[in-house]
Structures are given as C-alpha cells and as structure tokens.
Amino acid sequence: MNLQYKKVKLYEEDDYKDYNIYYFDSIKNIYKLLKKPGITLSSVCSESERENFYYFVPERLNFIETENIKLNSELKTEIKKENILKVKNIIIKIVNNHFSEPRSGTLKGIENMINIIIDEYFGQYAILTNFARMSYKDYTTTIHSINVMSLTLGLSFFLKFPKNKVYNYGISGLLHDIGKTEISDTILKAERKLNQQEFEIIKKHPQIGVDILKDYSFPTEVIKGCIEHHERLDGSGYPNGIKEEMISEIGKILAIIDPFEAITSVDRPYKRKMPVEKALEIIFIEEGNKIDKNLFTKFVKNLGIVEKIF
C-alpha cells in the first residue's frame, strides 16, 4: 500500500464532508477518488462498502488538528455549563480522532484536552470519578480509556498529587491500552471466550502500545503505565512478569483501576456489568495478593465518598 494513503474507519458522516475519500482499484493497482469535498458519503456508497476506503493521510491529520481546536473550545464551554453528558461526548470525539492515527503523531493533541479537564476540574475528584460511571452501550477501547483516565485523575486528586503528576497519570490512564488500536475488532469484540492463540495476541497490546508511544516525548510515567498495567505484584502478570518492587506507582494504580472499570462498565461481550461493591469485593478476593493493598484502600475510600453524592 502506498504509504501516503491509509485505510481508516469512517465514523460520522459529517466529519468527512470536507475531504477527499479514495478507494483502491486492485485491478489497476491505483487509488481512485471516490468523492470530492462537499459530497456526503451516503450519496456515493452504502455503509457496508465503507471499509474499503482510504484517506490521504495529511488531509486526515489536518482534519484532526482543526477539529481538535474546535472541540477543545467546545469542551471548555460545556464544562462551564456543567453539561456532563455533552462534555463526555466531546471527549469521546476528541479521543476517537486521536486514536484513529496513533502512529502519525496525533496523540500529542490530546494533551490540550487533558490540560483543560485538569484545569477545569482541579481537585474535584468526585466529579471525575462519577464521570467514569456514565455508561455507553458501545463499549470500545475509547470509552474504556476515557473512563480509566477519569478514575485515575479522580484518585490522583483525592491523593492530592501535585499537578504535573496528576497530568502524567491522566495521560497514562488514557493511553494505557493504545496498543489495542492495532488489534482486530474480531478479537477485541468477540462474543465468546477467547482461545489461547487469541489471548496471546491480546497480551501483546502493552508492548504494541509502547512501540507507538516511543515516537512521542511523553514522560516515563506514561510509558510505565502502558507497559505495566497488566503486571501483578506476585509476578503473575504480563508481558514481563515483573514483581512488586519493579512495578511503578502508576503501574500499580492502573492494575486496580483498569479491571475495576472493565467489570463495572456497561455489559460487555460475555460478561455482565457488576455493581461497584461487588466489583471491589471480586478484585479484593481474586487479586488481593496481586495488587497494592494500600492503593486499593485509598481507591475504595475515594469511591466511598463519591457514592454518597449519588
């Protein structure tokens, strides 16, 4: 494939109105223009045909950049209006855009978004923790990542971490599963138990994530959260099976928040959503010796306060 073109998932029709879209003509071995700017996708093809389309990447990157500026200013406005549903929907759009081209340098753009969230919600751990509890039917890596980021920011505020640490941990929470953007949906969204071979593929996502992140100048904590969030204190985790003293604080925090978010979020294939208390009990019983008890207690305390405001 010509590197200038990239196959991308097309999300919302409107987002692509102003851009050229191409398709690959396999007989002539060239890319052909499918639509010009100003023409909607549905007027030239059906939804099921869209998977064969390509973007000219520089256009896509310009689009993400322009869109990001617009969305970040909307984000500020909606936070001020306390319109939490709108806030979350804007964040989903921003993150979806950035997760669609993580190897093209776009991830840097999410820093503005995190700065806005931290500035506007500084110290308000309850809001951010509750924010993570808003459920969405289509449970994607994006939704999971945003929820993990929110819970991590909430806990960091609760623990009164300094601002730069809150910031690094927030980015780490958001990007911990970035490697999953390169794992196929047929495995990620399988509505059955994964076989051993598929699970081995899933287990590669922390390393794929680090490979993506190494092209950026993110702080070490961001990388650590990505590579260590499936490690466990007793060395039973993956990918490196490292033990307690080797695992960073953000690695230990994400080892608690990541499974907590996954089991308390909307029903996922093969698994049912669980109430907060039950989820904490399960994590404690099943993972008690594998997670940092001190951090776990603090996380429960943080949630306990949040529960009271429901």
- Residues in contact with Fe ion by CB under 5 A are 177, 258
Q: Where are the alpha helices (DSSP H) in the chain?
A: 57-80, 84-99, 110-121, 125-132, 141-158, 163-175, 185-188, 196-202, 205-213, 220-228, 249-264, 276-287, 293-308
Sign of CA dihedral 225, 226, 229, 235: negative
Give least dist CB 12 to Fe ion, A.
25
User: Which CB, 34 or 149, lies closer to Fe ion?
Assistant: 149
User: Which CB, 55 or 173, lies closer to Fe ion?
Assistant: 173
67 CB-contact burial (10 Å; exposed 0-12 / middle 13-18 / buried 19+): middle
Give least dist CB 230 to Fe ion, A.
6
For 271, which DSSP code?
B
> What's the distance, CA 211 to chain centroid?
16
User: Which CB, 177 or 292, lies closer to Fe ion?
Assistant: 177
User: Which CB, 116 or 262, lies closer to Fe ion?
Assistant: 262
Give least dist CB 14 to Fe ion, A.
30
Q: What is the length of the chain?
A: 310
Give least dist CB 202 to Fe ion, A.
8
Phi/psi for 218 (5° steps) reads -70, 150
Closest alpha carbon to 176 in 100, 287, 254, 91 = 254
User: Residues near 156 by Cβ (< 8 Å), separated by ≥ 6?
Assistant: 125, 165, 166, 169, 170
Q: Using alpha carbons only, what angle is made at residue 206 by residues 296 and 203, rounded to the nearest 5 degrees?
A: 95
Give least dist CB 88 to Fe ion, A.
18
User: Which CB, 258 or 292, lies closer to Fe ion?
Assistant: 258
Give least dist CB 144 to Fe ion, A.
6
User: Which CB, 183 or 276, lies closer to Fe ion?
Assistant: 183
* Residue indicated by tokens 């071995």: 29
Give least dist CB 65 to Fe ion, A.
27
For 247, which DSSP code?
S
Give least dist CB 259 to Fe ion, A.
8
User: Which CB, 19 or 238, lies closer to Fe ion?
Assistant: 238
Sign of CA dihedral 165, 252, 298, 113: positive
Distances (CA, A) of 177 to 183, 212, 223, 226: 10, 11, 11, 7
User: Which CB, 39 or 92, lies closer to Fe ion?
Assistant: 92
